[in-house]
């Protein structure tokens, strides 16, 4: 119910015209602990902004920063573009998989973490880099990955 009210509030604040779609989507995703836009939210957005649901879904599924399926509280995005790739981003991704016990594209059972590849977010000078929610971490090694996961687990408690 809260999510519904907050979604409506966000639409009202940002504006209820079709051109506000992306802004509204970003804001609505941030309202959700699981970092995604729920079907109920998308329905409200579609009605509120007078956009067909298919189009709202099309836009939400187009951008990698938006999600239409459940993610973790911490969304771990491993950069897979050129500079990170040649600096062993694959090893980093593997380390996260081992540390979290999930594969790419999955969410941990406790809902804390989700793991995915992303394209460049501008951390090339500290490659290999990852983005976790709004924070960027670079110069990663396998060991640093385990430490990072550990500290986030503690932070969450």
Partner 1 sequence: MDKISIIIDGKKVSVPPDTTILEAARKTQINIPTLCYHPDQNVKGNCRVCIVEIAGANGFAAACCTTVKEGMEIKTNTIRIREARQMVLNLILANHNSQCLSCKRNGNCELQTLSQELNIEEEFLDKVVDLLPIDQSNFSIVRDQTKCIKCGRCIEVCNDVQGVGAIYNVNRSCDMKIAPAYEKGLSEVPCVYCGQCINVCPVGAIYEKEDTKEVWRALEDPNKHVVVQIAPAVRVVLGEEFGMETGSIVTGKIVSFLKRIGFDKVFDTNFTADLTIIEEGNELLHRIKSGGKLPMLTSCSPGWIRYIEFFYPELLQHLSTCKSPQQMFGALVKSYYAEKMGLKPEDIVVVSIMPCTAKKTEAKREEMHLNDYYDVDIVITTRELAKMVRESRIQLRELEEEDFDVPLGLSTGAAAVFGATGGVMEAALRTVYEVVTGDELDKIDFKNLRGIAGFKEATIPVGDLDVNVAVANGLKNAKILLDLIKEGKANYHFIEIMCCPGGCIGGGGQPIPATNSIKEKRIEAIYQVDLQSELRKSHQNPAIKELYEEFLIEPLGEKSHKLLHTHYIDRSKNNKDKRD
Question: What is the chain's Cα-based Rg?
Answer: 17
**For 75, phi and psi rounded to 5 degrees?**
-95, 110
Part of the chain binding partner 1 (CB under 8 A), chosen from 13-21, 24-32, 63-71, 79-87:
63-71
Q: Rule CB under 8 A: is residue 45 a binding residue for partner 1? A: no
Binds partner 1 (CB under 8 A): choice among 4, 9, 12, 39: 39
Assess whether the previous peptide bond of 128 is cis (omega < 30° from 0).
Answer: yes
Q: Rule CB under 8 A: is residue 53 a binding residue for partner 1? A: yes
Q: Rule CB under 8 A: is residue 68 a binding residue for partner 1? A: yes
Q: Cα dist. 147→28, 106, 109, 151, 153 in Å?
A: 31, 20, 20, 6, 10
CA dist 113 and 108 (Å) reads 5
Q: Rule CB under 8 A: is residue 61 a binding residue for partner 1? A: yes
Query: Does the annotation flag 84 for ligand binding?
Result: yes
CB 15 within 8 A of CB 48: no
Output DSSP code: residue 120.
Answer: -
Q: Least distance in Å: CB of 153 to partner 1?
A: 32
Q: Which is nearer to partner 1, 38 or 87 (CB)?
A: 38
Residue 70, SS3 per DSSP: coil
Query: Does the annotation flag 79 for ligand binding?
Result: yes
Q: Rule CB under 8 A: is residue 58 a binding residue for partner 1? A: yes
Binding-site ranges for partner 1 (CB under 8 A): 39, 42, 51-58, 61-64, 68
**Binding site for [2Fe-2S] cluster: which residues?**
79, 84, 120, 124
């Amino acid at each position: 119910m809260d999510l519904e009210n907050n979604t409506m509030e966000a639409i009202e604040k940002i504006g209820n015209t079709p051109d506000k779609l992306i802004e509204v989507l970003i804001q609505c995703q941030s309202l959700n602990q699981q970092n995604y836009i729920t079907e109920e939210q998308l329905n409200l957005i579609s009605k509120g902004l007078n956009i067909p649901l298919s189009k709202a879904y099309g836009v939400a599924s187009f951008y990698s920063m938006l999600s239409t399926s459940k993610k973790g509280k911490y969304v771990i995005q491993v950069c897979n573009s050129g500079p990170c790739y040649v600096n062993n981003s694959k090893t980093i991704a593997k380390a996260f998989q081992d540390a979290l016990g999930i594969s790419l594209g999955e969410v941990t059972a406790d809902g804390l973490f989700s793991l995915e590849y992303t394209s460049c977010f501008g951390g090339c000078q500290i490659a290999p880099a990852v983005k976790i929610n709004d924070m960027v971490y670079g110069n990663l090694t396998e060991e640093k990955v385990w430490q990072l996961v550990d500290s986030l687990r503690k932070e969450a408690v």
